[in-house]
Structure 1
Amino acid sequence: MGAALLAAAAGVIGVALGRLWDIRSEAARWRRDQETASYQRLAEAFILLYEEIRTIALTERDTNTLIEAISSTRRDKTWDNALVAVWLHGSASVVTAASLMDRTVTKLFYDAQARQHSTEDWNRARIPSADAFERFLASVRKDINLSPVSVRLFPHIPN
């Protein structure tokens, strides 16, 4: 009876340890999934915001179209929500890159509101934000153990 009891206890302990290991593994997978999803959401939000800012920059001044574009961009919280998710779930290096990207895109937004851009002006003004986005992507790829890529999403357009 003693051996049977020991075997049963060992089985229960084994099941408990296995379940504890499963819970720990599930938590790690959940964290990784949240982190990766937040990175993807911020990249997607950047593309949307970047295009909204481009529209504002190239739109004639003192028009209802411009006023509505600016208002719409200010009301849309997609960027802010995605940025907060990265701040909550991201690694320190990715949060740093995301914060730099936020500063450059905010500056680009205010610059786009201040004056109408020619295509050449836009191509120059957008470079810091595009570069910050590329650095964010490189930081994310490194963080999630993907190899670096040399492809640029926003290649610089020569003047």
Structure 2
Amino acid sequence: MDSRIGYDTDFLAWTEEQARLLREAARERINTPIDWENVAEEIESMGRSELRAVESALVRVIEHLLKLEHSPAVEPRGGWRWSVREQRDQANDALDDSPSLRGKLDLGKAYRRGRDYAIDGLEQDRIAVELALTDCPYTLDQILDPYWWPVNRHDLS
């Protein structure tokens, strides 16, 4: 039985496995004019790009969830909600394609960036907000859940 990971099952895991297999083939000195190490590196790079894309989507989701939670402004709440929906969809689609991405996400880094963007954006709107410099107040499941929204601290929906 072939236990290799399928390209269509988990893209990230597939890229990691293919890079490993290419490096093994290179060590066996197969006599073909292939630049094994750079081909393996390029395949791994595709997986890293997927990871960066998901982390970027998480940063935007966190930024706008924080704005929705902390801002007393009525507008542009609709734009923030739309952005959250769009970025959640992108992140969830990528995680469906590569389930192993979930275990590689750095939620702390995504929170720090999203928090900083939220603070900057709110300050541009002349809204002073202090956001904790500690851990992300949302779980990954909440961030990705299309039906979950934080409660606004100013009784806005």
TM tier, smaller: 0.3 to 0.5
TM-score by length of 2: 0.42
Between Structure 1 and Structure 2, the one with more helix by share is: 1
TM-score by length of 1: 0.42
